[in-house]
Amino acid sequence: MIKCKWPFAFVSISDFFVHPELCSTKIAIKSRPPPGSWVAPLPGELKFNVDASTRESFGEAGIGGVLRDNRGSILVKFSKFIGLSEPTGAELEAILEACRIVSNENWLKSYRLVIESDSIMVLSWIVDSKPCPVFLEEKVFLCKQFRARFKWEFTFAFREANCDAHELATFGVQTRAQLLWIAKNNTYQNSVSAKGLFERD
């Protein structure tokens, strides 16, 4: 029914129910990239793709993210179970996790950071200061603080360009993972086995 009325909709089902007006934005289907078509950042920049995965409209949730340089080399990966959440709150938590990781690693601070999310609604709260639900105001405020302090860029990515982050978020839900891998040390912190998905590039 949604695609019948809004054939060019590119927001998620959860975003649609909260803000159906977003579906009126027409983006040609041909403009959507093929699955796995990640776009590299400029030289001197790093790109952190993040995503969240939830069971139902409110349930167990996981977050995931992949940090790459302009050559596509993976510098950081995380996959984390965050308990119960609704989709937008989980997406905000994924963004905040990326912010915390980069801000805590001094060797990453010399780069300009781009954080990509596939939730246009969440990004509108952070970048355009559009109203958000009261229970999410604190998370949105923290995202804005990171953005202002470090001059980071927060941008939208189609889901097709965000596949790796989504896979890690889903892995977090399925395994209740608490995983963080940092290339500089070639080490990871984990609460479950990191073999398979998490160890491959």
Q: In the prediction, which pLDDT does 192 show?
A: 44
Do 51 and 137 lie in one domain? The reply is yes
At 106-149, the pLDDT tens digits run 999 889 999 999 999 999 999 999 999 999 999 999 999 999 99
Count Cα atoms within 13 angstroms, Cβ side, for 201: 7
What CATH code is carried by the domain that includes residue 69? 3.30.420.10
Query: What type of residue sits at position 28?
Result: A
Do 9 and 99 lie in one domain? The reply is no
Residues 29, 10: Cα–Cα separation, whole Å: 9
Do 57 and 5 lie in one domain? The reply is no
Residues 6 or more apart in contact with residue 1 via CB below 8 angstroms: none
Do 116 and 183 lie in one domain? The reply is yes
Do 26 and 72 lie in one domain? The reply is no
Do 107 and 142 lie in one domain? The reply is yes
Query: What type of residue sits at position 193?
Result: S
pLDDT at 30 over 60: no
At 168-191, the pLDDT tens digits run 999 999 999 899 999 886 555 554
Residues 90, 122: Cα–Cα separation, whole Å: 10
Residue 200, token pair as written in the block: 């491959």
* Chain-centroid distance, C-alpha 179: 16
Q: In the prediction, which pLDDT does 5 show?
A: 52
Do 128 and 65 lie in one domain? The reply is yes
Do 23 and 89 lie in one domain? The reply is no
DSSP 145: H
Q: Structural domain tally of the chain?
A: 2
* Chain-centroid distance, C-alpha 197: 18
Do 58 and 96 lie in one domain? The reply is yes
Q: In the prediction, which pLDDT does 191 show?
A: 45
Q: In the prediction, which pLDDT does 34 show?
A: 77
Do 126 and 169 lie in one domain? The reply is yes
Tell me the whole-structure pTM to 2 decimals.
Answer: 0.81
Do 59 and 127 lie in one domain? The reply is yes
* Chain-centroid distance, C-alpha 112: 17
Predicted confidence band at 37 (pLDDT cuts at 50, 70, 90)? confident
Residues 59, 81: Cα–Cα separation, whole Å: 11
Could you tell me the residue range of the domain that residue 169 belongs to?
Answer: 33-199
Least confident of 45-54, 78-87, 188-197: 188-197
Q: In the prediction, which pLDDT does 12 show?
A: 56
Sheet holding 59-68, edge to edge: 153-156, 112-117, 45-54, 59-68, 74-85, 178-182, 187-189
Buried b (16+ CB within 10 A) or exposed e, 87-124: bbbbbbbbbbbbbebbeeeeebeebebbbbbbbbbbbb
At 61-83, the pLDDT tens digits run 999 999 999 999 999 999 999 99
* Chain-centroid distance, C-alpha 77: 12
Do 43 and 54 lie in one domain? The reply is yes
What is the β-pairing status of strands 112-117 and 153-156?
parallel
Residues 7, 13: Cα–Cα separation, whole Å: 13
At 88-97, the pLDDT tens digits run 999 999 999 9
Predicted confidence band at 199 (pLDDT cuts at 50, 70, 90)? low
